[in-house]
């Protein structure tokens, strides 16, 4: 699975899982005559593993320079030579695209649940979230470098201007990632995800007061049950700690600003390469605090204690697998986003959080009070309503623009 799609970012629908969404600009009126446009292909037809084909491969031969036209003419017209009755029938996945989409949703949920469970198990015997956060990013960077090495995808060139655009995004990503892990290491996974359900509230606040864009009243009203539910769950949560709560809130704010900077950093680079560069920058940002905050403890007793508890082989394999699952579930989440409408993805993202909370309670046997359970359900329901309303508003905007 060398390249599993492109990266997602954002906002309430993506959370930590979708990291940077590059929005397409508005469609431009074609200067070509009608006859020329007849040879156009669908957007997806111009993409191969996240790379856009050269115009020479998608324009009709009559509009190409002489040299390009000759190259196309030399290609045997195998498809047109076949009789109409002997046309190749579509495969099962082409005939039933819902099967492929369902597979992506399954893998998205599966990888996310496995990541959260394995991540928490590591923290139970190795409570060093700064170091583990570095491992998450390191494994992802190695994955990206290997993908570049085999050309899937081909590495996009980068310059100082692009680095300046991507650095704020990567900085917010690094801060949000580390503080999320500090929260996961401190409180129950179910409670940490309940707090992170507040991310839509911070997104709306930033849109209204930072970007100066009006947020519809219906969206503000839909956030009321989210705030109420998180408050109810926090008051009676058995694993509650201020350290875990505050770090989860910092994570929400960080990912909100990541979304804001992502909109300012839109480039022509495919988002798989953008994700790779952001991961590299975030890794560099995360290493110094990990060495300063946890380095002395790790050298004195942290690493030795973990190896004594589970053994060197399990310790290393756990760290490698959790980093791999972290990278893959983010890639799959973005690939899923590109296959479905925003509304479908928003609903899927809410259900994913339900799955993570439910499985974490079952696997770890977390005891929760009735009020915490009700508060969690209210918060998740609020996120679902918010995601639905927001997706409908975006669809209406696109329809008017078209």
Show the DSSP H helices in 31-65 as ranges: 34-37
- Residue 360 domain flag: yes
Cα separation of the two ends of the chain: 36
In a domain, 86, yes or no: no
59 falls within a domain: no
The C-alpha atoms of residue 81 and residue 181 are separated, in whole angstroms, by 59
The structural domain count of the chain equals: 1
Which residue range is the domain that position 274 belongs to? Answer: 99-401
Q: How far apart are CA 401 and CA 75, in angstroms?
A: 40
| Residue 75, phi then psi, degrees to nearest 5 | -75, 135
Instruction: Judge whether 281 lies within some domain.
Output: yes
Confirm if 108 and 347 have CB atoms less than 8 A apart: no
pLDDT of residue 339: 74
Q: Residue 85: inside a domain, yes or no?
A: no
Q: What is the pTM of this model?
A: 0.71
Query: Band of the pLDDT at 197, cuts 50, 70, 90?
Result: confident
The percentage of residues in the chain with a pLDDT greater than 70, rounded to a whole number, is 74
CA distance 223 to 390: 11
Write down the mean pLDDT value for the chain. 78
Under a CB-based contact definition with an 8 Å cutoff, are residues 346 and 216 in contact? no
pLDDT digits (tens, 9 = 90+) for 63-100: 444 444 444 444 444 444 445 545 556 666 566 677 88
In this structure, is residue 158 part of a structural domain? yes
Burial of 121 (C-beta count, 10 Å sphere; 0-12/13-18/19+)? middle
The answer to whether residue 34 is domain-embedded is: no
DSSP string, 194-206: HHHTTHHHHHHHH
Position 181 in a domain: yes
pLDDT at 66: 43
């Amino acid at each position: 699975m060398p390249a599993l799609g492109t990266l997602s970012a954002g906002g309430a629908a993506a959370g930590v899982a979708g990291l940077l969404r590059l929005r397409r600009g508005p469609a431009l009126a074609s200067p070509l005559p009608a006859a020329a446009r007849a040879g156009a292909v669908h957007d997806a037809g111009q993409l191969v593993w996240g790379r856009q084909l050269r115009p020479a491969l998608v324009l009709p031969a009559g509009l190409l320079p002489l040299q390009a036209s000759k190259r196309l003419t030399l290609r045997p017209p195998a498809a047109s030579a076949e009789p109409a009755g002997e046309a190749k029938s579509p495969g099962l996945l082409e005939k039933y695209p819902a099967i492929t989409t369902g597979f992506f949703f399954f893998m998205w949920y599966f990888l996310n649940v496995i990541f959260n469970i394995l991540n928490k198990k590591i923290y139970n015997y190795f409570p060093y979230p700064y170091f583990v956060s570095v491992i998450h990013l390191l494994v992802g960077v190695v994955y990206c470098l290997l993908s570049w090495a085999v050309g899937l995808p081909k590495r996009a060139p980068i310059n100082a201007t692009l680095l300046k655009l991507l650095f704020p995004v990567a900085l917010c990503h690094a801060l949000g990632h580390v503080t999320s892990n500090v929260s996961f290491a401190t409180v129950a996974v179910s409670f940490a995800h309940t707090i992170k359900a507040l991310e839509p509230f911070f997104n709306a606040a930033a849109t209204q007061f930072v970007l100066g864009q009006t947020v519809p009243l219906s969206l503000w009203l839909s956030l009321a049950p989210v705030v109420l539910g998180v408050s109810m769950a926090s008051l009676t949560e058995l694993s509650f700690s201020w350290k875990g709560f505050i770090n989860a809130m910092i994570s929400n704010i960080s990912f909100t600003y990541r979304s804001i900077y992502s909109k300012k950093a839109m480039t022509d680079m495919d988002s798989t390469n953008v994700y790779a560069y952001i991961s590299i920058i975030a890794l560099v940002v995360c290493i110094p605090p990990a060495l300063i905050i946890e380095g002395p403890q790790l050298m004195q007793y942290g690493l030795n204690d973990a190896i004594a508890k589970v053994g060197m082989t399990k310790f290393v394999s756990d760290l490698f697998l959790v980093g791999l699952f972290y990278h893959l579930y983010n890639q799959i989440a973005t690939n899923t986003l590109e296959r479905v409408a925003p509304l479908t993805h928003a609903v899927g993202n809410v259900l994913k959080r339900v799955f993570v909370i439910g499985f974490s309670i079952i696997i770890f046997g977390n005891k929760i009070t009735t009020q915490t359970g009700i508060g969690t359900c209210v918060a998740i329901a609020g996120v679902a309503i918010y995601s639905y309303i927001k997706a409908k508003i975006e669809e209406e905007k696109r329809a008017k623009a078209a």
